[in-house]
Amino acid sequence: MSKPRKPRTQLVHLGRAPRKWLGAVSTPVFRASTILFPTVEDLHLAEARQYPGVSYGLHGLPTVTDFQDAMAALEGGDAALAVPSGLTATTLPLLACTQPGDHVLVTDAVYGPTRRFCDLHLKRLGVEVTYYDPLIGAGIAGLTRPNTRIVFVESPGSLTFEVQDVRAIADAAHARGATVVLDNSWATPLYFRAFDHGVDVSVHAATKYIGGHSDVLLGAIVCNKEAYAPLFRLWTDMGVTPSSDDCFLGLRGLRTLAVRLAQQQQSALRIAQWLRDRVEVAEVLYPALPDARGHDLWKRDFKGASGLFGVILRPAAPERLAAMLDGFDLFSMGYSWGGFESLIIPTVPERSRTASTWTTAGPCLRLAIGLEDPDDLIADLDEGFRRLNGLA
Ligand X SMILES: *Cc1c(COP(=O)(O)O)cnc(C)c1O
Which residues in this chain contact ligand X in the complex, by CB under 6 A? 85-87, 90, 111, 158, 183, 185, 205, 207-208, 217, 219, 336
Nearer to ligand X, 87 or 288 (CB): 87
Nearer to ligand X, 89 or 325 (CB): 89
Report the candidate in 147, 152, 190 with the shortest Cα–Cα distance to residue 170.
152
Q: Which residue is nearest to ligand X (CB)?
A: 86
CA neighbor of 369 nearest in space, from 314, 330, 318, 326: 330
With beta carbons less than 8 A apart as the criterion, state whether 256 and 266 touch.
no
C-alpha to C-alpha distances, 96 to 229, 230, 234, 238, nearest whole angstrom:
9, 6, 6, 11
Cβ at position 218, least distance to ligand X in Å: 7
* 318 backbone dihedrals φ, ψ, rounded to 5°: -55, -35
Name residue 313's beta-bridge partners.
Answer: 281
The three-class DSSP label of residue 10 is helix
> Closer CB to ligand X, residue 51 or residue 235?
235
Give least dist CB 245 to ligand X, A: 15
Shortest CB 192 distance to ligand X, Å = 13
Cβ proximity of 317 and 363 under 8 Å: no
Residue with smaller CB distance to ligand X, 51 or 337: 337
- Minimum CB separation of residue 74 from ligand X in Å reads 18
Q: Given the complex with ligand X, which of 160 and 207 has the nearer CB atom?
A: 207
Alpha helices in the chain (DSSP H): 7-13, 40-47, 62-75, 86-96, 112-117, 166-175, 188-191, 225-238, 244-276, 295-301, 318-326, 374-388
Specify the residue, 335 or 391, whose C-beta has the smaller distance to ligand X: 335
Query: Would you give the distance in Å from CA 330 to the centre of its chain?
Result: 25
Q: CA separation (Å) from 286 to 159, 160, 236?
A: 10, 9, 38
* Closer to ligand X by Cβ: residue 46 or 205: 205
Q: How far is the CB of 96 from ligand X (least distance, A)?
A: 17
| Closest approach of ligand X to the CB of residue 205, in Å | 3
- Min CB(307)–ligand X separation in Å: 13
How is residue 142 annotated by DSSP?
G
The least distance separating ligand X from the CB of residue 279, rounded to whole angstroms, comes to: 30
Nearer to ligand X, 176 or 208 (CB): 208
SS3 call for 163: coil
